[in-house]
Structure 1
Amino acid sequence: MKPIRVWAPTRDDVRLVLDGTDTPMFRDPDGWWSSDVEPEPGMRYAFRLDGGDPRPDPRSLSQPQGPHAASEVVDLDAHEWHDEGWDGCRLHGAIIYELHIGTFTPEGTLDAAAEHLDHLASLGVTLVELMPVAAFPGRRGWGYDGVAPYAVHEAYGGAAALQRFVDACHQHHLGVCLDVVYNHLGPSGNYLQEFAPYFTDRHHTPWGWAVNLDGGESDEVRRYLRDNAEMWLRDFHLDALRLDAVHAMVDDRATTFLEELAEYADRLSDELDRPVTLIAESDRNDPATVARRGPGGIGGVGLHAQWADDVHHALHVLLTGETQGYYADFADPNAIGKVLATPFFHDGTWSSFRGRTHGRPVPPELPGWRFVASLQTHDQVGNRAGGERLSHLVSPGRLACAAALLLTGPYTPMLFMGEEWGASTPWQYFTDHQEPELATAVSLGRRAEFAEHGWANEVPDPQDARTAQASTLRWEELDRPEHADLLNWYRWLIRLRRAIPDLQNSTLASTRVTRVDGVITVHRGAHTVVVNLSGHDVPLDLPQGEAVLGSRGASERAKKAVVHPDGVVIRGPNGGGHTHLKEHATP
């Protein structure tokens, strides 16, 4: 094992506390402190800064007793990998599956999640996206309050369990994406500022001080984040990172950290000889996030993809009729047609929720696969008062319609865990803060957030363990006909997408949408998706040489089809080599 080092440029005395014994450390001119003690795996250590209480390592790989206690020495080279044949996961053509380790299974561990990889592989997804696993106080939480960015949360199984999970995914031909939070740390257990200026009061975010990306000593802060990304991609063999809320990463330098990270990821991809993908969450609606840099490095940020929440919003309003809050703008009858052909509804248009114009048009040369679209995400479900899924809000027929629109579109589709079978469990906001005052503040704040909508009594207490338990998937539902039926539909749609080039075409100009009241017709090359959200039957003629490839809530006679309310038909050229798929379309 390498000797332990720590960056603490503002400190006059740093001591290594190894298995309870203090040992002096030696300062280098660059503000790094080192020790000549060679630790062994399993040893516990911390740092005493200028005689204060021991603090965990900012680069700790393990916090077995939580983020307030000592760190544990971990050897990441100890895992024996079995993915030598894995050549990576390309985002072009991928289908993402977002999951939360703590509620994916009753056990809430990485090892337990790995037992369900056969399900994901048979579903047809290609990239498993894990919500954040960075260590945080307590056992339960979404992960966005992590305070030890290098350590895997102990309740999930720690670093070794994540390596086993990734290894197992690769053996199932599944890539792995990790959600990382570089814009803030949680409110409890954040000791980074005691070591060095990791944060700055020059900028502010919804979570307080901003990460110091552009002030004094920011070179080393950037290195801290870049090294973290490299660790996940190299030492844990991850295929992609999802960068949380990059719009909150305030950075006034000429070359931003995100540009540096994008360039570094591309170099690392060449070195590892497999794709390395960075996916941004951004609410700026700016295609420059994924546009490649031009000559001299001027132009786009150069990340590989970004979430497209406008697609979700327009689909949600279309399916549910909800128009409160930011959904109001998407009540525009033309919204659905726009977002099925270009990812940003707000592309320089007025946003009533923001009270200003918002966004920028997406150039037609940018491919649709660079935009991740969804019907449900942890945010859109979990930030509802009761954590209601789409399956709680619309009919089974509409769920099938929604899946057809998503999985035949030009973007990279993403599913949220349990969506594929219409899970009956909600997915709610839950926490496990250990400080009584913080726990109370979170519980009261959550109720107050929804009080103005009259929903305060519907909000479960985030601190109550039953809230997380209620949000845990029930895998036994797969044996019930109504859930198995929807699952078969999702599986078939994914197979159809892969089999038909028109349906995986990510050229934005490849999609044309018409809407007549509640009937949405999406033209994808020679193939058509017809969704009937009206209250009456809709007859369809089938021209010579065209056939229904699959349907839900529809009937077919001679050369005509009838799409019933909340039904969907996918039709295209007859005899195109896809007739073997048709028999599985309607279970």
Structure 2
Amino acid sequence: MTLGENGYDATPSWGPQIVGPGTRFRLWAPNQNEVRLRLSGDYAMTRRHDGWFEIYIDEQPFGSPYGFVLDDGTVVSDPASRQQQTDVLGLSVLTNPKAYRWQHLQWQGRPWHETVICEIHVGTFTPEGTFNAVAAKLSHLASIGVTAIELLPIAHFPGNRGWGYDGVLQYAPHTAYGTPDELKALVDVAHGLGLMVFLDVVYNHFGPEGNFLSQYAPAFFRDKHNDWGQEIAFEQQPVRRYFIDNALYWLEEFRFDGLRLDAVNEVKDDSSPHILEDIPSAVRGRITGRNVHLMIENPPNGTDLLVDGLFTADWNDGFHHVVHRIVTNESSGIFAKFADDAFGKLRKIMSEGYVDAGEPTVSNHLPPSASLQPTAFIHFLQNHDQVGNRALGDRLHTSIDEQTHLALTAMLLLSPQVPLLFMGESYRDNTPFHFFADYTDELATIIRDNRAPEAENFGGYPEGFSATDIPDPNAETTFLDSKIDWAQSETPEGQAWSNQIRQLIEIRRERIVPHLLDAQANSGKVLDAPERCVFVDWKLGDIALQLRLNLSKKEIALGSKLGERIWPNSKADTHETLPPLSVAFYIQERAD
């Protein structure tokens, strides 16, 4: 065993290992008496007392398919496969981790406070739906000032199309998107453009098809289930290592700049330390010399994961929900909580972070969200969930006027929280984004039947529509109809909107970003404001950033004590009043 910093075993436990002139294959199969490696023939593996089977061969047959033969003759892929020959049910492929020649090894990432994210689904970001095609489109995002892209999960999932949250081979990039080296090339191109690349990972369950772990390693899972599948038994050391190794694998071998852990509230672990403490510890201990950022989606809003150097920021769904409630009047499902005093809740979110006190995940100590820097919260007007789970997959701007949309977008991009755009939002793409999958038979029926409850939870049905109008998630046309339309980015309307985004991000970069590191605890302050307005000031070091939002239908007085207006950047004097459905930002030098 080779120990790295923090005593972490630096030798990966899962997947093929290149050792000297040969290769070691390993599988944790405590429920098996015999396991054979299938690689141009079958070879008996040595069983250790802890349930691991191993075999060392004195060659490195890169590109060769391999798998494992269980007691009953079933052939399974490597659960830590780096590449699949076909799909999740096929054989794995031995890859050369050092074959790719990086062009931007000097890249050290970017500090978190510079982050402006665009969320991307690889399969629908381009007509081709590949890593190579994504790389070819990144110059558009870089040109408008985006500093990071975030890929929806790419770990191999069943079928050819899907959102990726039902992955079963956590180490293998999805074959339909391209090879591991093509993924590395995507990251490399992004770095050359000054873009960070984040990856969405799912550590709370495995998908329902193609996962054979329970057959030969039932101890990998608990008896309990969450909404998506069996809970994972992180108290088992091999299981723990599977996920810690996985986080390091993406960050080290592919040089990702960060990870976003999906629904961490469903990552259950009775161990001490918790797996959500061990992963950040391993990452911080192993990866030095460049910026790496760890994000979470944590619906219960527990601040304990955002302190003591654990995670950098949380997706703050509350911002989306309350803004959507205000501008659409939808009040069912996820919006019901924000039906009353929506503007009061928005003021609290903008000034303090969360609406609620939250629930703990790894400790009983919950600092108030106001004690965190504003950059601990990622805000968005829409993302894959908030669009794709709607009945018709409609984007926000298709149901509100452009003036209101511009005001909301300016609030998003100029407030001190970290902004996230959804693909196509940079030019107001009108293409819907649906939920889609690639299942058949009973699983297809289950997935299809679940769409109506999801739609009802995400705003219900537009007038004149019902559950029968929801596109079949398993139909290929539903996937194809979700591909964004790049032709819209070339229209006068698309270019005009992109220019607005570019201006806003440039103002953020020049006037706000230099002060974000100086934001201290309790930096936000809510000021008295007229009805349907939000007035918030943030202390950012030696300046105050002042937000004045007016979502009413009448002009309102702003009062005094305003600094230099940075948005809108027209010459018109609007210091005394604010037009309907608009927003203004000011910077004032602080005297205290």
TM-score (norm 2): 0.87
1:550 to 540, 547, 567: 567
1:403 aligns with 409
In the TM superposition, what is the alpha-carbon distance from 1:547 to its structure 2 partner? 5.1
1:437 to 432, 439, 442: 442
1:178 to 199, 222, 247: 199
1:107 aligns with 128
Offset from partner CA, 1:142-200 (integer Å, 9 cap, x none): 00011111100011002111111111111111111111111111111011122323533
1:377 to 383, 390, 400: 383
* Residue 387 of structure 1 pairs with residue 393 of structure 2: yes
1:323 aligns with 331
| One-letter code aligned to 1:246 | V
Matched position secondary structure for 1:523: strand
Q: Please tell me whether the aligned partners of residues 113 and 513 of structure 2 are also in contact (alpha carbons under 8 angstroms).
A: no
Structure 1 residues 240 and 451 mapped into 2: Cα distance closer, same or farther (>3 Å)?
A: closer
1:419 to 402, 425, 428: 425
* Residue 475 of structure 1 pairs with residue 486 of structure 2: yes
Q: Please tell me whether the aligned partners of residues 199 and 209 of structure 1 are also in contact (alpha carbons under 8 angstroms).
A: no
In the TM superposition, what is the alpha-carbon distance from 1:67 to its structure 2 partner? 0.5
| One-letter code aligned to 1:445 | N
Quote the Cα distance in structure 1 between the aligned partners of 2:367 and 2:400: 32
Gap runs ≥5 in structure 2: 1-17, 360-364
| One-letter code aligned to 1:146 | G
In the TM superposition, what is the alpha-carbon distance from 1:212 to its structure 2 partner? 0.7
Identity of aligned residues (%): 36
Q: Please tell me whether the aligned partners of residues 183 and 249 of structure 1 are also in contact (alpha carbons under 8 angstroms).
A: yes
* Residue 464 of structure 1 pairs with residue 481 of structure 2: no
Moved more, 256-265 or 319-328: 319-328
Quote the Cα distance in structure 1 between the aligned partners of 2:329 and 2:496: 25
Structure 1 residues 363 and 551 mapped into 2: Cα distance closer, same or farther (>3 Å)?
A: closer
1:277 to 280, 287, 293: 293
* Residue 308 of structure 1 pairs with residue 308 of structure 2: no
| One-letter code aligned to 2:244 | R
1:254 aligns with 272
| One-letter code aligned to 2:143 | S
Quote the Cα distance in structure 2 between the aligned partners of 1:499 and 1:276: 23
Structure 1 residues 195 and 416 mapped into 2: Cα distance closer, same or farther (>3 Å)?
A: same
Matched position secondary structure for 2:287: helix
1:510 to 523, 533, 539: 523
Matched position secondary structure for 1:76: coil
Q: Please tell me whether the aligned partners of residues 295 and 313 of structure 2 are also in contact (alpha carbons under 8 angstroms).
A: yes
2:186 aligns with 165
1:520 aligns with 534
In the TM superposition, what is the alpha-carbon distance from 1:426 to its structure 2 partner? 1.1
Quote the Cα distance in structure 2 between the aligned partners of 1:502 and 1:253: 39
Quote the Cα distance in structure 2 between the aligned partners of 1:115 and 1:261: 33
Structure 1 residues 364 and 336 mapped into 2: Cα distance closer, same or farther (>3 Å)?
A: closer
Quote the Cα distance in structure 1 between the aligned partners of 2:148 and 2:44: 46
Offset from partner CA, 1:9-67 (integer Å, 9 cap, x none): 22111111113x22211223332222233341111111111132211011111113100
* Residue 130 of structure 1 pairs with residue 151 of structure 2: yes
Quote the Cα distance in structure 2 between the aligned partners of 1:158 and 1:504: 41
Structure 1 residues 494 and 69 mapped into 2: Cα distance closer, same or farther (>3 Å)?
A: same
Matched position secondary structure for 1:429: coil
Quote the Cα distance in structure 2 between the aligned partners of 1:341 and 1:363: 10
Quote the Cα distance in structure 1 between the aligned partners of 2:535 and 2:303: 27
Offset from partner CA, 1:55-99 (integer Å, 9 cap, x none): 101111111310001111111210001112201232233112211
Structure 1 residues 261 and 527 mapped into 2: Cα distance closer, same or farther (>3 Å)?
A: closer
Structure 1 residues 157 and 237 mapped into 2: Cα distance closer, same or farther (>3 Å)?
A: same
Quote the Cα distance in structure 1 between the aligned partners of 2:277 and 2:588: 44
1:565 aligns with 580
Gap runs ≥5 in structure 1: 294-301, 350-358, 575-587
Matched position secondary structure for 2:572: strand
Offset from partner CA, 1:380-433 (integer Å, 9 cap, x none): 111111111111221111111111111222222111111122210111100111
Quote the Cα distance in structure 1 between the aligned partners of 2:324 and 2:125: 24
Moved more, 370-379 or 67-76: 370-379
In the TM superposition, what is the alpha-carbon distance from 1:561 to its structure 2 partner? 6.1
Quote the Cα distance in structure 1 between the aligned partners of 2:422 and 2:141: 12
Quote the Cα distance in structure 2 between the aligned partners of 1:235 and 1:546: 47
Quote the Cα distance in structure 1 between the aligned partners of 2:75 and 2:468: 43
In the TM superposition, what is the alpha-carbon distance from 1:318 to its structure 2 partner? 2.4
Matched position secondary structure for 2:566: strand
Structure 1 residues 340 and 212 mapped into 2: Cα distance closer, same or farther (>3 Å)?
A: same
In the TM superposition, what is the alpha-carbon distance from 1:507 to its structure 2 partner? 3.6
1:492 aligns with 503
Offset from partner CA, 1:180-235 (integer Å, 9 cap, x none): 11111111101112232353334321123201112xxx111000111111111111
Matched position secondary structure for 2:133: helix
Q: Please tell me whether the aligned partners of residues 551 and 567 of structure 1 are also in contact (alpha carbons under 8 angstroms).
A: no
Structure 1 residues 97 and 228 mapped into 2: Cα distance closer, same or farther (>3 Å)?
A: same
**CA-based RMSD:** 2.5
Matched position secondary structure for 2:568: strand
Offset from partner CA, 1:232-260 (integer Å, 9 cap, x none): 11111111011111111111112111111
TM-score (norm 1): 0.88
Quote the Cα distance in structure 2 between the aligned partners of 1:560 and 1:410: 21
In the TM superposition, what is the alpha-carbon distance from 1:448 to its structure 2 partner? 5.4
Q: Please tell me whether the aligned partners of residues 408 and 504 of structure 1 are also in contact (alpha carbons under 8 angstroms).
A: no
2:12 aligns with none
2:56 aligns with 36
Structure 1 residues 185 and 198 mapped into 2: Cα distance closer, same or farther (>3 Å)?
A: farther
Moved more, 282-291 or 507-516: 507-516
1:23 aligns with 43
Matched position secondary structure for 1:111: helix
| One-letter code aligned to 1:230 | L
